[in-house]
């Protein structure tokens, strides 16, 4: 049989099939019974046999038939290398030093800044729905708490250390990540200690940041995640965890590829961490700097990071893919940041798309790029939307 007559033959058989049932609605109307009867249909079996009998390679008209591979909803899930599950999600919490506070953050839809006394009832509901992990950000609201050294960051009576202890005690199965940075605690709002000329003093900053990380880990954090971007902080933190005898039980997640972006605006509103002068362009990465991100990822792996993070996520999928490629032996995390979340909400509100559909699509694209851990403000919604 010639190739063209084979194709004609297959086309005829196909049109025979479509006389029983319209071809196009396979995905919506096919039932298992329907499927089973088609599978065992003798003419079907013959057409497969005749395909292999001729030495036609799987090309052209035959390999162009893709729809069968994803007609069924289950088959569609098989097309993704990773399925979104509840255990991939980390939920950001803003913890204020005003114990009774529960204040909506205007630029960050449905997100609140909460004091200690509001934490347990709020988390109770989420834990019941399957929440596995949170990332904590401390927000000192009290006047006079901030200084040039960010002293309040590791205050044992400050919101973060108290929240670590409380959460660990009340929700022993919740994995506690703590963001480690000074910008929420410094009077100038930068992510470290400054020199007289206003630039970061890398040595002093790394020393201070690693002390803060050690304090959080000692208080019971399962994971410390430095977001400051000072050079060499991963190594310094790892050494202090080893010195403290807790390196074996503390995960070190590095914000390795953290870009300087306009997408952190709502977070800075929430945490009150906008710099009082200048910007973060000399320590956070320039958005075009793919090579720089690759170098930072390599460096942090060599310095002892257990997980590498890319942030923001959706506009940086190539970086996530690079991270997966460079860090073959490490899990990759991605942070869908405040501005991305606010943007998705704004689009939905403007009628551009359905919020849930976009929440899933944006998250699935992050997984597709290579991340297996996602820090997401959509976590409470996903706990409702996902079954496991």
Ligand X SMILES: NCc1[nH]cc(CCC(=O)O)c1CC(=O)O
Annotated binding-site ranges for Zn(2+): 181, 183, 191
Size of the site for ligand X (CB under 6 A): 11
Binding to Zn ion (CB under 5 A) within 221-240 occurs at 227
Output 179 or 340, the one with its CB closest to Zn ion. Answer: 179
- Measured from the CB of residue 31, what is the shortest distance to ligand X in angstroms? 45
Spell out, one character per residue from 323 to 362, where the chain touches ligand X: x when CB under 6 A holds, - when not. --------------xx------------------------
d(CA 307, CA 330): 6
Candidates 84, 90, 191, 369: give the one binding Zn ion (CB under 5 A): 191
By a kind-dependent CB cut-off of 5 to 8 A, residue 371 interacts, out of ligand X, Zn ion, none, with none
- Residue stretches of the annotated binding site: 181, 183, 191, 268, 280, 338, 377
- Residue stretches of the annotated binding site for 5-aminolevulinate: 268, 280, 338, 377
Binding to ligand X (CB under 6 A) within 167-196 occurs at 179, 181, 183, 191
**Nearest C-alpha neighbor of 176 from the set 111, 129, 220, 210:** 220
**Nearest C-alpha neighbor of 182 from the set 157, 218, 158, 164:** 158
Q: CB 346: neighbour CB atoms within 10 A?
A: 11
| Under rule CB under 5 A, residue 154 binds Zn ion | no
- Measured from the CB of residue 310, what is the shortest distance to Zn ion in angstroms? 15
| Under rule CB under 5 A, residue 367 binds Zn ion | no
Output 84 or 161, the one with its CB closest to Zn ion. Answer: 161
Output 179 or 300, the one with its CB closest to Zn ion. Answer: 179
d(CA 96, CA 272): 11
- Measured from the CB of residue 168, what is the shortest distance to ligand X in angstroms? 22
Q: CB 294: neighbour CB atoms within 10 A?
A: 17
Residue labelled with tokens 């319209």: 22
Distances (CA, A) of 377 to 59, 316, 342, 382: 45, 18, 10, 10
CB 51, CB 11: distance < 8 Å: no
In terms of phi and psi (left: phi > 0; alpha: psi -120 to 50; beta: otherwise), the region of 102 is beta
| Under rule CB under 6 A, residue 267 binds ligand X | yes
| Under rule CB under 5 A, residue 183 binds Zn ion | yes
Candidates 97, 179, 300, 340: give the one binding Zn ion (CB under 5 A): 179
Candidates 47, 205, 227, 379: give the one binding ligand X (CB under 6 A): 227
- Measured from the CB of residue 63, what is the shortest distance to ligand X in angstroms? 44
Residue labelled with tokens 């036609």: 56
- Measured from the CB of residue 192, what is the shortest distance to Zn ion in angstroms? 8
Class of residue 247 by CB neighbours under 10 A (exposed 0-12, middle 13-18, buried 19+): middle
| Under rule CB under 6 A, residue 209 binds ligand X | no
By a kind-dependent CB cut-off of 5 to 8 A, residue 319 interacts, out of ligand X, Zn ion, none, with none
d(CA 93, CA 159): 11
d(CA 359, CA 365): 10
- Measured from the CB of residue 264, what is the shortest distance to Zn ion in angstroms? 9
**Nearest C-alpha neighbor of 373 from the set 333, 337, 335:** 333
Candidates 185, 264, 283, 316: give the one binding ligand X (CB under 6 A): 264
CB 160, CB 218: distance < 8 Å: no
* DSSP string across 338-353: HHHHHHHHHHHHTTSS
By a kind-dependent CB cut-off of 5 to 8 A, residue 268 interacts, out of Zn ion, ligand X, none, with ligand X
d(CA 88, CA 65): 34
Which residues are marked as active site? 258, 311
Which residues are near Zn ion by CB under 5 A? 179, 181, 183, 191, 227
| Contacts with ligand X, residue ranges (CB under 6 A) | 179, 181, 183, 191, 227, 264, 267-268, 273, 337-338
């Amino acid at each position: 049989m010639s190739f063209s007559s084979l194709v004609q033959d297959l086309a005829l058989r196909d049109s025979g099939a479509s006389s029983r049932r319209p071809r196009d609605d396979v995905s919506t109307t096919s039932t298992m019974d329907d499927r089973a009867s088609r599978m065992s249909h003798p003419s079907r079996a013959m057409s497969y046999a005749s395909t292999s009998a001729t030495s036609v390679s799987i090309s052209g008209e035959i390999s162009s038939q893709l729809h069968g591979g994803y007609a069924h909803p289950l088959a569609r899930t098989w097309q993704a290398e990773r399925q979104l599950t509840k255990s991939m999600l980390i939920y950001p919490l803003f913890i204020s030093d005003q114990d009774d506070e529960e204040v909506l953050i205007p630029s960050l839809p449905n997100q609140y800044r909460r004091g200690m006394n509001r934490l347990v009832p709020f988390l109770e509901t989420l834990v019941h729905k399957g929440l596995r992990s949170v990332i904590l950000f401390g927000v000192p609201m009290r006047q006079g708490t901030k200084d040039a050294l960010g002293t309040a960051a590791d205050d044992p009576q400050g919101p973060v250390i108290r929240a670590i202890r409380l959460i660990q005690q009340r929700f022993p199965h919740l994995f506690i990540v703590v963001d480690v940075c000074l910008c929420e605690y410094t009077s100038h709002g930068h992510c470290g200690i400054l020199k007289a000329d206003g630039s970061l003093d890398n040595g002093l900053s790394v020393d201070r940041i690693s002390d803060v990380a050690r304090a959080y880990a000692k208080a019971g954090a399962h994971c410390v995640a430095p977001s400051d971007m000072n050079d060499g902080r991963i190594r310094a933190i790892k050494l202090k965890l080893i010195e403290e005898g807790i390196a074996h039980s503390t995960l070190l997640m590095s914000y390795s590829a953290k870009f300087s972006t306009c997408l952190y605006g709502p977070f800075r509103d929430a945490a009150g961490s906008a710099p009082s002068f200048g910007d973060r362009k000399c320590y956070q990465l320039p958005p075009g700097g793919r090579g720089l991100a690759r170098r930072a990822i390599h460096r942090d792996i060599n310095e002892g990071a257990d997980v590498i993070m890319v942030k923001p996520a959706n506009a940086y999928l190539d970086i996530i893919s690079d991270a997966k490629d460079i860090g073959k032996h490490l899990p990759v995390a991605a942070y869908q940041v405040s501005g991305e979340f606010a943007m998705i909400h704004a689009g939905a509100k403007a009628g551009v798309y359905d919020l849930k559909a976009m929440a899933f699509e944006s998250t699935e694209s992050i997984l597709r790029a290579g991340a297996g851990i996602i820090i997401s403000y959509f976590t409470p919604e996903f706990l409702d939307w996902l079954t496991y």
